[in-house]
Chain A
Amino acid sequence: DGGITQSPKYLFRKEGQNVTLSCEQNLNHDAMYWYRQDPGQGLRLIYYSQIVNDFQKGDIAEGYSVSREKKESFPLTVTSAQKNPTAFYLCASSKGPGIGANVLTFGAGSRLTVL
């Protein structure tokens, strides 16, 4: 079945460590996105990528980095510069461009906890 796979599902990190969250899709979608979800704040966009080897900052990119070397993969690195990284991270993809670009398919999420 086609879909988006995020790993790990749960991740614990010590302060000062970088961690990388994996996101892989087999939907042949062009666009991929990373959102952060915090209680009461909804989803906030971290980074997005419309095509391979290109990505743009979202609303809260500070302390995060991404790469898009392959169409199927869009890993997110949470760096030690991110002051409050404990959150639920959601990866999504969509066809692009056009109206279909905004019907997102989401992964099941990765919950990061900083100890």
Chain B
Amino acid sequence: AQSVAQPEDQVNVAEGNPLTVKCTYSVSGNPYLFWYVQYPNRGLQFLLKYITGDNLVKGSYGFEAEFNKSQTSFHLKKPSALVSDSALYFCAVREIAGTASKLTFGTGTRLQVTL
């Protein structure tokens, strides 16, 4: 089965500093990887995805993610964090089930950005 792991429950960063939220994956075949963000008491919002091509993927709100095949990682990054980036971030991987596909999510990382 495909899976992703988010090794950090929480990441703290000061506003204006770069941020990284880590994700590693375990898949058979080519990975299709995703990042979603969840604000308090809300559903998740899609940020970005890696299917194929450039290892650096750009997404919404200034976020980007770097796909690293040798390290089986797909870390989320942003050059300069904002307080409004504080939220719960989920990494996900596509899994094929018969003729259908579905997403398997990691356990989430809470990002706290402070002034």
Interface residues on chain B, number (Cβ under 8 Å): 27
Q: Is the interface of A mostly helix, strand, loop or mixed?
A: strand
Query: B34's contact among A45, A92, A102, A106, by CB below 8 Å, is which?
Result: A102
Chain B contacts for A26, CB-based, 8 A: none
A42 to B44, CA, bound (A): 11
Q: How far is the CA of A35 from the CA of B32 in the complex (A)?
A: 20
List, in ascending order, chain B residues with CB within 8 A of A48's CB.
100, 102
Show the binding face of B for A, using Cβ within 8 Å.
9, 32, 34, 36, 41-46, 49, 51, 90, 92, 94, 97-108
Residues of A with Cβ closer than 8 Å to B? 4, 6, 31, 33, 35, 40-45, 48, 50, 56, 58, 90, 92, 97, 99, 101-109, 111
24 A-B pairs (CB sep. < 8 Å): A6-B43, A33-B102, A40-B9, A42-B106, A44-B105, A45-B102, A45-B103, A56-B98, A56-B100, A90-B43, A90-B44, A97-B99, A99-B32, A102-B49, A102-B94, A102-B103, A103-B46, A104-B36, A104-B46, A104-B103, A106-B44, A109-B41, A109-B42, A109-B43
